[in-house]
Amino acid sequence: MQVSLANCISPNFKDLHKHLKDDVNTEYWLRGGRGSTKSSFISIQLILGIIKDKEANTVVFRRFENEIRDSVFGQLKWAVNKLGVDHLFKFNVSPFKITYIPTGQVILFKGADNPQKIKSINLGTGYIKFAWFEEVDQFGGMEEIRNILQSIFRGTTKRQIAFYSYNPPKSSRSWANAESKISKPGRVVHYSDYRQVPPEWLGDTFLANALHLKDVNEDAYKHEYLGEETG
């Protein structure tokens, strides 16, 4: 079965998708409001990346382990089904793991509240090419992120890529807001919001709630739906 990527990736990420295909950068910061589909985009890229590179593995992080099931694990399952490759992947929940059946490559899920499990990651094959920090603003800061990456990004000369996704906190003094504004070689920062997403992807209820909030509380609308720093 052939699946059109145009039906999987919102137009607001078309250029970023092409950018990732060039494989020249090492980290991507995706800032956006509700409904921007940034998490959907990352999950699609991770599945495509594993299929493309037969040695690539992925580790996905949330700040707390108990947040994994209802967020990133479900999001990756959605991506596998959306791409029509669910017959090629196996899903385990104890521990949370997705295995690419043809090669044994894996997507592992970890909570930053259990550092010992991060240090003891063992792969059956290949190397860790991708790391994804979902809701990165909830982590303790860039030092915590660096410590995690130092544990998992090593032992290979191949390019390794980190994704950071989050809805910007109100305050510009938030560490995540401040960090994403720092220029760094290999860093790409992408801004998105629901207005660039096909309306039928979001549904009438989502759009009606967004417009209602805009009418009654424009500051809250700008922060929640446009991802603006309003503090």
Catalytic residues: 135
- In this structure, the number of other CB atoms found within 10 A of the CB of residue 99 comes to 17
∠ CA(29), CA(149), CA(34), 5° rounding?
Answer: 30
- Give a three-class secondary structure readout of 105-119: EEEEEEECCCHHHHH
CA distance 109 to 69: 9
* Beta-strand pair 127-134/105-111: unpaired
Assigned token pair, 30: 């995706």
Helices 38-52, 74-82: crossing angle, 10 deg rounding: 60
